[in-house]
Chains A and B, each alone.
Chain A
């Protein structure tokens, strides 16, 4: 440093050293303070302990139960509860009373549930009913705006382990990630202790019941929802005798609800070429199936691929099997459909498909059950004009004979997991057993938009069906129950969202014409392989083998016939 032209070296060095010491000192103090804060705010330590439990079926089994210090494993409570409730809900209420009586849970305890804004009305209904029977236990909702926010918060909790919330409602697609990250608590013990009604005539419909709750053979979630796709179509156009006559003369086949994708392509072509005007004033397109870049494009491709007998991964090696004749066929169908779909199918967000259908601008489309709800609203331009059917299938040659395979995608599907870092995991589980019971669950599902029917008795038992029909219409209920029976899961293994995101990107690129199908399939296979290797082939294979067993029987029979299974 120069002062009046004289360099003051000693002071410069002294100042530098002082600054250095201050900085280092501050860093050490900051680290110390940070460490102390971390220690003070650390969540309860999770310990693994071995518990031998007598199950009511008189079999003795040894389970590994991760338990927090505040929740000892309790004996099976007597399954009696308040009158007027279903057995499932009554057992949940009785279970809570028992926990309170034994001093495991104190009256006034509050549970916190992390969930997405769209399910708030549903959960509020469940809480309202809960407070009638268990007023001493409060439930608080932590509401997040968007689905990815929930995933991010859940994953952050897996890392930080704060115990901020007791349960989180998630897409079943995330289950593998959240189990492996250590956030999802195994629920086998609670299932056997309290029986959530997963067997019998009112159980959630199989195979959905199992594939959205199980991971590597264990239960980690409770079903909150079903998200199975159905085919929606303009009934008024399909039933029009003039169009029927014209179609038959052009294509030599009857105009009807299409059984296969091949039939659907012809009908989509026919209606697109008619250049009809929609009730909204816009143009009528023959079809609209997801091909957009953000997340949904995989749904259409995977549906055709699965129906054609494709299997995502080899069951012996975990090698991706998407670069296959079934994969090429799926692209072939989608590309042949493309001219009859609005261009927005490739660019707009997923909600655009809903918008176009309820404006009457598409003849055939496929989406979640909420599309049917939207189509039935008074503001819909296709109210009373919309029909529902099973997804179109693919004719597969098995052992020399042709077989029509129909399968329905079940993308996302909300479930609830109990946090491993919850101070009240058993209590939290019981709230959700109550909320998803046959009687309470139906009330909850019908309250909002994003949750849908999943228990069989809601479709078959007249006392429940009448209520359900008010929300969906009679025709849809029959179609939807059958659709759940033929539904298949997302890739519910670790990295599921990542596998599907890569697939969506490539499907969108092919549909936009920026990539050819061969290159896209090759890239998907390469990227899937690298994801598998990232998580470990053995671990992924174990998860995939378990999941593959939970696919619908028709699909598995083709896999067996092709030697894939």
Chain B
């Protein structure tokens, strides 16, 4: 045996299956999507996609003038901002509260992370049933607070209450995700730093604000970015709980793109909208990371 590195041809051959797979399932479809965005292709048109006419930026132009697309995009951004903020604050609070040892802690953690194990479609169905007029939310929870008036609340009938019900379902399922990351981050903060601060007479709030939080900042950024990216793709809750209604008042951008692509077969237009959304996500994520790590980190 020698230490001589393997010839380049062997390296290429060794990498080939993985590369082929990568290109087949990721790169080529993605390139195809970009190409389709510049065509006018509809599977119901009866012609192959490679015979579809090239229409330049028309699909992008149409998307930027499509009020339904723009409002679904705005709604999705609002949704992401609300759920990620609440989930982050709740997740962080829970993680902080569970840092100390107490009897039943393991059970409490298991219960908290339980929603994360359920498929979103199951969560959506559960919440759909819970928010029915005679469901547990009205009939048990709200009825005990506001009495019989609770039975008159029709969650899915008004745009605002329908939107709130979606947010509640999302928060219930995804707060544990933030909790898990925050809990592991806070647990990893060196105890000697906390003890040193305590010896110097620092308050719990001061320790949290000045020591724990700065130390876990990279993980906070990662948790928020990951969660925001996931929340942006919200589909199951909307599709099952409200169907995007009343009208289109709770339709998110994923649901709209799904409808255009799958129900209306306008694959080219859906591709263009997807690209716009992708571009937007890249820009926002990049700015957020830059602000958190580079500018903010200075």
Contacts and interface: CB of A to CB of B under 8 A. Distances in A.
**Residue picked from B44, B156, B265, most chain A C-beta under 10 Å:** B44
Contacts of B154: 343-344, 347
B157 A343 contact: yes
30 contacts: A22-B11, A26-B15, A26-B23, A27-B27, A30-B28, A148-B263, A158-B43, A159-B43, A159-B48, A177-B265, A180-B44, A181-B44, A181-B45, A293-B245, A343-B133, A347-B155, A347-B242, A349-B243, A494-B44, A495-B44, A497-B263, A501-B259, A501-B263, A508-B246, A509-B248, A512-B249, A514-B159, A514-B247, A515-B247, A534-B266
Interface in B14-70: 15-16, 19-20, 23-24, 27-28, 42-46, 48-49
Contacts of B157: 343, 346-347, 512
Given A182-B46, A282-B134, A509 B247 contact: yes
Interface of B: 8, 11-12, 15-16, 19-20, 23-24, 27-28, 42-46, 48-49, 132-134, 154-159, 162, 242-249, 259, 262-266
A27 B23 CA distance: 7
A512 B158 contact: yes
**Residue picked from A34, A347, A349, A497, most chain B C-beta under 10 Å:** A347
A46 interface: no
A494 B265 CA distance: 11
Interface string A345-385: 01111000000000000000000000000000000000000
Contact of B263 (A176, A180, A498): A498
Given A25-B12, A347-B154, A494-B44, A512 B247 contact: yes
B247 A508 contact: yes
A18 interface: yes
B25 to A, nearest CB: 10
B11 to A, nearest CB: 7
Contacts of B46: 180-182
A342 B152 CA distance: 11
Given A26-B12, A495-B44, A509 B249 contact: yes
Contact of B248 (A29, A33, A180, A505): A505
A512 B48 CA distance: 41
A276 B264 CA distance: 43
Contacts of A515: 247
**Residue picked from A18, A27, A30, A531, most chain B C-beta under 10 Å:** A30
Contacts of B247: 293, 505-506, 508-510, 512, 514-515
B16 A29 contact: yes
B247 to A, nearest CB: 3
Contacts of A498: 263-265
A347 B156 contact: yes
Interface of A: 18, 22-23, 25-27, 29-31, 33-34, 148, 152, 155, 158-159, 176-178, 180-182, 282, 292-294, 342-344, 346-349, 494-495, 497-498, 501, 505-506, 508-515, 531, 534-535
A373 to B, nearest CB: 25
Contacts of B244: 293, 505
| For the complex of A and B, 8 pairs with smallest distance between CB atoms | A509-B247, A293-B245, A512-B246, A347-B156, A26-B19, A30-B23, A294-B243, A343-B154
Contacts of B249: 509, 512, 514
A180 B44 CA distance: 6
B246 A509 contact: yes
Contacts of A531: 264
Contacts of B156: 346-348
A77 to B, nearest CB: 32
B74 to A, nearest CB: 16
B8 to A, nearest CB: 7
Nearest to B245: A293
Contacts of A348: 132, 156
B23 A344 contact: no
Contacts of A152: 262
A347 B264 contact: no
Contacts of B19: 23, 26-27, 29-30
A373 B259 CA distance: 32
Nearest to A18: B8
Given A498-B263, A498-B264, A512 B245 contact: yes
A234 B93 CA distance: 55
Nearest to B159: A514
B248 to A, nearest CB: 6
Contacts of A176: 44
A180 B133 contact: no
B261 to A, nearest CB: 10
A184 B204 CA distance: 71
Contacts of A181: 43-46
A342 B49 CA distance: 46
